[in-house]
Amino acid sequence: MKPAIIVLAVLLSCSGLCGQSDFSGMGRSYGRSMVISQHGIAATSHVLASQTAAGILARGGSAIDAAIAANAVLGLVEPMMDGPGGDLFVLYWDARTRQYAGLNASGPAPRGLTPALLAGKGFREMPSDGIHSVTVPGAVEGWAQIHKRFGRLPWKDLFTDAIGYAERGFPVTEVIQEAWAGAENVNKLRANSESTRVFLPRGKAPEVGEVFRNPDLGRAYRLIANEGSDAFYKGAIAEAILKTSNHLGGTMTAHDLLSFAPEWVSPISTDYRGARVFELPPNGQGMAALEMLNILGTSQPDAAGPFSAIEMHKRIEAMKLAYSDLRRYNADPRSYDVPVAKLLSKEWALQRAALINGGRANCAVTAGPVKPGDTTYLTVVDREGNMASWIQSVSQGFGSGVTVEGMGFELHDRGGGFSLDPESPNVLAGGKRPFHTIIPAFMERGDTRIAFGIMGGANQPLAHAQFVSNVVDYGMNIQAALEAPRFTKRTANGCDVSIESRVPVTTLLGLSERGHQIAIRREYTQEMGRGQAILHDSRSNTNYAASDPRTDGAAVPEAIPQQP
């Protein structure tokens, strides 16, 4: 169906709901209110995880303590999104030192996983599931290292809720059930007998409200709680990982697990109309969000608003340019000199912005010439103003589809982020980290600091840029900015773009006339990512939190601390 016909069909079916209307009186254009408190708050994609984190804060735990506890719960209640078998990235604001700390806890490919080995097995491109898509999981050691530096409560106390829910069970929520029951996820689980046993009770995904138990994961969490990360990298869990890999012909070794160490990194940033936006450096894709913002910053935002055809066209075209550069140059900086400074310069943004045709979509975007030089997000602020911007993932739904025997969690498929093209800086090599999609972020302006993230694979940088623009250019509060209709696109090339149906029909028609091939999505779809955000006002010591309605989450404040 041609784009104009698609848009016309939506126009005819909207019954006035999609267009702009002028209603007098009180009201607002977004659904949820912000959660506002002068105590700590946790915003996660599942209410049980938010509740756990708020409880940790109420006990005097730090933002990092609360984030680890919430992440452990999320690994149980959102098994297709994250868990101990995945990677972790964190941006942390230390209120005492007034400094950011960045942690890259993404694991490398096993030393034995090489292009030659895959070619010998008949692979012409990187597998996106199965044992040869598995890289070393970095999350658990990431938890351990950041807890040593910024934790306050005892390590073992952070896993109590996750173990309890794993052993006693929890009711499955709506958004998670929808993802769990998706045909692609179910087929992936059925391809592995252990995955089928653990995640398809009675042969199918649980229903909404059905109580799901995972005592095997409860066992794994008990081991981690009692023995620390050693349980995962050289203890019983490591043995189970290696046993599982060997059964499936994988290349993971004890040395691969033992030798892993997260990396402390400094964030990269840019100024966007007076707001400073921070991301983590490669091998993550945060630089694409900053480059997109730089391109948008070369011209004024459209006065007609963020959902005008002019503004959305500019956002989509800026995204394509930034993503083409990202795909050409992003790689593990330990093996390739990624030209971050060049790509984030204002001069580069001007050169790239000059390629945008205001009246026509570009369907064949190429990277600029530079000399080489599905996921869960949560955020927590504690009562002292320390803030964690935290993202963890097993990559695609249920990761590799390989569940560790007897441990109740799946291994991620981050190896699918490599290329087998020998000319690519992101070419597979043993011991190298792949191109990574998950990115935590911060934004600061004046007395306010916002920790935010919007998960969802390639969607993340463009969603970050839309959120920042909504706040900075159009004065939205963080809840309105998260809820606002979004577009998404997975690749730089092509004129295809997915847009939520809440965007005005006049805008959809204007974009279609410019050559965009529009796919209309539901009002609030997971395809646009699932975000959380917390704003801390240091002047009033007040916290404001937002949780995306595209997920089952909530922002939950800590209870008033009890007086001794």
Q: Is residue 36 part of a domain?
A: no
Total domains present in the chain: 2
For the cut 80, the answer to whether the pLDDT of residue 562 exceeds it is no
Digit-coded pLDDT (tens) for 129-146: 999 999 999 999 999 999
CA distance 99 to 102: 10
Hey, which residues does 268 pair with through a beta bridge?
279
Digit-coded pLDDT (tens) for 256-284: 999 999 999 999 999 999 999 999 999 99
- The answer to whether the CB of 323 falls within 8 A of the CB of 461 is yes
Q: Does residue 69 sit in the same domain as residue 201?
A: yes
Query: pLDDT-derived band of residue 563, with 50, 70 and 90 as boundaries?
Result: low
Q: Is residue 269 part of a domain?
A: no
**Listed range (175-179, 207-211, 558-562) with the worst mean pLDDT:** 558-562
Query: pLDDT-derived band of residue 374, with 50, 70 and 90 as boundaries?
Result: low
Mean pLDDT: which of 39-48, 487-496, 522-531 is highest?
Answer: 39-48
- What 3-state class would DSSP assign to 384? coil
CA distance 422 to 426: 9
Q: Does residue 59 sit in the same domain as residue 90?
A: yes
Residue 100 phi, psi (nearest 5)? -90, 145
Q: What is the CATH number of the domain that holds 367?
A: 1.10.246.130
**pLDDT for residue 31:** 87
Digit-coded pLDDT (tens) for 5-44: 444 344 433 333 233 334 345 678 888 899 999 999 999 9
Q: Does residue 96 sit in the same domain as residue 241?
A: yes
Q: Does residue 364 sit in the same domain as residue 386?
A: no
For the cut 60, the answer to whether the pLDDT of residue 511 exceeds it is yes
Q: Does residue 335 sit in the same domain as residue 391?
A: no
Q: Does residue 400 sit in the same domain as residue 529?
A: no
**pLDDT for residue 451:** 98
CA 257-408-378 angle, 5° bins: 80
CB-hemisphere CA count at 13 Å for 500? 16
For the cut 80, the answer to whether the pLDDT of residue 372 exceeds it is no
**pLDDT for residue 490:** 87
Tally of residues, the chain: 564
Q: Does residue 239 sit in the same domain as residue 299?
A: no
Q: Does residue 296 sit in the same domain as residue 260?
A: no
For the cut 90, the answer to whether the pLDDT of residue 471 exceeds it is yes
Q: Is residue 423 part of a domain?
A: no
Q: What average pLDDT does range 155-175 have in this prediction?
A: 97
Q: Which of 44, 375, 403, 448 is catalytic?
A: 375
Q: Is residue 139 part of a domain?
A: yes
What does the buried/exposed string (b/e) look like for 431-460 if buried means 16 or more CB atoms within 10 Å of the residue's CB?
Answer: bbbbbbbbbbbbbbbeebbbbbbbbbbbbb
H helices of 236-394, in order, are: 236-247, 254-258, 286-296, 309-329, 340-343, 346-353
Q: Residue 487's domain spans which residues?
A: 3-10+282-374+452-557
For the cut 50, the answer to whether the pLDDT of residue 3 exceeds it is no
Q: Does residue 242 sit in the same domain as residue 301?
A: no
Q: Is residue 402 part of a domain?
A: yes
Hey, which residues does 488 pair with through a beta bridge?
498
Query: pLDDT-derived band of residue 4, with 50, 70 and 90 as boundaries?
Result: very low
**Is residue 506 flagged as an active site residue?**
no
- The answer to whether the CB of 408 falls within 8 A of the CB of 219 is yes
User: Which residues, in sequence order, are CB contacts of 16 under 8 Å at separation 6+?
Assistant: none
CA distance 516 to 519: 9
